Amino acid sequence: MEKIKSSEITPKSLFLSRREFITGLGAAVVSTAFLTACQGTGLSSLPSAAEPSDKPTSYKDVISYNNFYEFTVDKDGVAALAKDFKTSPWTVVVGGLVANPRTYAIEDLLARFPPEERIYRLRCVEAWSMVIPWLGFPLAKLLKEAEPTSEARYVRFETLYDPARMPGQADTSFDWPYVEGLRLDEAMNDLTLLASGLYGEHLLPPNGAPLRLVVPWKYGFKSIKSIVKIDLVATMPVSLWMAASPREYGFYANVNPDVPHPRWSQATERRIGEYTRRRTLPFNGYAEEVIHLYQGMDPRTLF
């Protein structure tokens, strides 16, 4: 994945087009086939088609159209409810099955792991997507400092629980606080970011300030926001969405255009700011970097 230097980031008012994203697999290659074909042969043997250059989503849309159920289920209503949310002071606790547990003040964490800028597509629920220049650092750097023990298999993330400041947490339909999880090897992949900003600026509360997860090859709900706790654990974490609707939301949340969600197709998506739909790429176009993580697994279980 190409990394974008800070000096190369165009101001958001001029940020019209930057780069071609990773080469995607052709639409004719179904997910069930490409996982099998990659066993022992590599992606180079598969048909491919270049994805055209993507225009970044407008800054206005990025900060005003958000999934953040801790505030509201209304995507257009998050910004107003979250605008005065205070993110200082803030601490992030890293613990569980690690040799070096630690509690970081957010400013110390970001000083220790200076953010870099990367442009990622992020596909979200209901088959819409955005292209965002994120400011963050690979989660692997933090995990390596924590030194996971040999028993650690998964990473469990937890959001702040504060119903007085996050009114959506009064909704008893969900089991708060918000919890999400990754397998340890997924978390250690270089694409997996802890993001603290976008468009070269600090994250705003609607986008998950002060620290959120970005996993570009996964479905949008692997995007836990306002993180306060990261634990290494031995057993698979049960995320908020897995608990709320296990038929619709599994642990892996990988983008697979050939496995429809129970309530909508995954085959196409609508980019925010566009009116026409585009084909959805397996693993959101990041197959080359992540497909090795799932070799030998039934792609139908990777939802």
DSSP per-residue letters across 212-252:
EEE-TTB-TTS---SEEEEEEESS----HHHHH-TTT--S-
Q: Which two tokens stand for residue 65?
A: 């159209």
CB 206 within 8 A of CB 66: yes
Write the single-letter amino acid at 297. M
> What pTM was computed for the model?
0.83
Q: Which two tokens stand for residue 62?
A: 């990025």
Residue 299 is predicted with a pLDDT of: 82
Residue 72: inside a domain: yes
Domain that holds residue 90: 6-19+58-266
Residue 206: inside a domain: yes
Residue 53 is predicted with a pLDDT of: 59
Residue 303: inside a domain: no
Query: What is the CATH classification number for the domain harbouring 238?
Result: 3.90.420.10
| Phi, psi (degrees; rounded to nearest 5) at 61 | -65, -40
Q: Which two tokens stand for residue 218?
A: 């996964």
Tell me how far apart the alpha carbons of residues 175 and 254 are, in angstroms, rounded to a whole number: 23
Residue 36: inside a domain: no
Per residue in 108-122, pLDDT (tens digit) is: 999 999 999 999 988
Which has the higher per-residue pLDDT, 194 or 246? 194
Cα radius of gyration (the chain)? 18
Tell me how far apart the alpha carbons of residues 105 and 111 are, in angstroms, rounded to a whole number: 10
Which has the higher per-residue pLDDT, 18 or 97? 97
Tell me how far apart the alpha carbons of residues 283 and 25 are, in angstroms, rounded to a whole number: 9
Number of domains in the chain: 1
Sign of the dihedral through C-alpha 273, 130, 279, 22:
positive
Residue 124 is predicted with a pLDDT of: 84
Residue 10 is predicted with a pLDDT of: 38
Q: Which two tokens stand for residue 45?
A: 């043997």
Which has the higher per-residue pLDDT, 180 or 7? 180
Residue 299: inside a domain: no
Q: What is the mean pLDDT of residues 62-82?
A: 94
| Phi, psi (degrees; rounded to nearest 5) at 160 | -55, 135
Residue 64: inside a domain: yes
Residue 300: inside a domain: no
Residue 276: inside a domain: no
CB 283 within 8 A of CB 290: yes
Tell me how far apart the alpha carbons of residues 150 and 301 are, in angstroms, rounded to a whole number: 26
CB 21 within 8 A of CB 51: yes
Q: Is the pLDDT of residue 175 over 50?
A: yes
> Among 101-110, 206-215, 274-283, which is the least confidently predicted range?
274-283
Q: Is the pLDDT of residue 264 over 50?
A: yes
Tell me how far apart the alpha carbons of residues 278 and 36 are, in angstroms, rounded to a whole number: 25
